[in-house]
Amino acid sequence: MTQPPAPRDLDTSRPHSARMYDYYLGGKDHFEVDREAAERVAAEFPTIFIGAQANRSFMQRATRVLAGQHGIRQWLDIGTGIPTNPNLHQVAQAVAPEARVVYTDNDPLVLKYAQTLMHSTREGRTAYIHADINEPDSILNAPEFHEVLDLTKPVALSLMAIMHFVTDSQDPYGIVDRLMGALPSGSALVLSHGTTDFDPEAWEKITEIYHRSGTPLQFRPKADVARFFTGLDLLEPGMAVGHRWRPDPVDDTAEAPGEEPTDAEISLWVGVAIKP
């Protein structure tokens, strides 16, 4: 694992996306400054909390489908976030104990907790790379990437709620092309992405909140999110709003089944596609 950065890298003077997301998920690994910014987002978009949960649930369903139905045994997860149970490797290894996962994030706090992500099964393996997705070659050339992943076999590239932190001026489509280009045929792209499509006013305000806190970000309409899947074969049902992608069966025996959220309440486009 890459050496932890000096403590000064942990900037608590301004909000950080990983720590704000931790707050949305009900975690404890954030500071006052993150809570305040996250609350400003929640004031504009009160369902941000269930949106974040829906994003985690999609990750779990997509991982189980790829491991259980498509034989995928390797993942490269970029923008991992602060560890949150169950983490991707726990979901994958519950289906296939030999599954291998390389995690990557650029946030020093995620690096600090990355040891939690190293609790792999004995048959499988996990690793962590501290890197920025804007420099995809720093991930593809990292020793951990080659030690853990066998590039003669399919790998799922997992980009969950990260690509909206890469603005058009940073060449997001070129970055995804570069990463998918390094993976063999039969590999997969799993992506979730915030969208302005259903509640443009609220999501423009959220964009402003992140911009003001020093985090550039760009939520995208469906057609722009669809561009990430160019040249790949989308699995059924194609792109969907997070909670509508192969939802788990409703538990009829539950005493008070929850109401299904609307698309606007989730505002996340997701999809899973296979490289031909």
Residues that bind ligand SAM (CB under 6 A): 17-18, 21, 55-56, 59, 78-81, 105-107, 110, 132-134, 160-162, 165
Among residues 59 and 273, whose Cβ is nearest to ligand SAM? 59
Residue 217 beta carbon to ligand SAM: minimum distance, rounded to whole angstroms: 9
Residue 260 beta carbon to ligand SAM: minimum distance, rounded to whole angstroms: 21
Among residues 14 and 71, whose Cβ is nearest to ligand SAM? 14
Q: Are strands 100-105 and 125-130 parallel, antiparallel or unpaired?
A: parallel
The residue among 267, 275, 48 whose CA lies nearest residue 179 is 275
Among residues 80 and 213, whose Cβ is nearest to ligand SAM? 80
Ordered DSSP codes for 93-159: HHH-TT-EEEEEE--HHHHHTGGGGG---SSSEEEEEE--TTSHHHHHT-HHHHHH--TTS--EEEE
In the bound complex, which residue of the shown chain has the CB atom lying closest to ligand SAM? 81
Burial (CB < 10 A; 0-12, 13-18, 19+), residue 191, is: buried
To which H or E segment does residue 273 belong? strand 268-274
- Rounded to whole angstroms, how far apart are CA atoms 199 and 191? 21
Residue 98 beta carbon to ligand SAM: minimum distance, rounded to whole angstroms: 23
Among residues 6 and 256, whose Cβ is nearest to ligand SAM? 6
Among residues 110 and 183, whose Cβ is nearest to ligand SAM? 110
Residue 165 beta carbon to ligand SAM: minimum distance, rounded to whole angstroms: 4
- Rounded to whole angstroms, how far apart are CA atoms 258 and 81? 27
Longest dimension (CA), the chain: 52
Residue 249 beta carbon to ligand SAM: minimum distance, rounded to whole angstroms: 23
Among residues 210 and 229, whose Cβ is nearest to ligand SAM? 210
Query: Taking CA 74 as the corner, what is the angle to CA 179 and CA 84, rounded to the nearest 5 degrees?
Result: 95
Query: Taking CA 113 as the corner, what is the angle to CA 109 and CA 116, rounded to the nearest 5 degrees?
Result: 160
Residue 181 beta carbon to ligand SAM: minimum distance, rounded to whole angstroms: 18
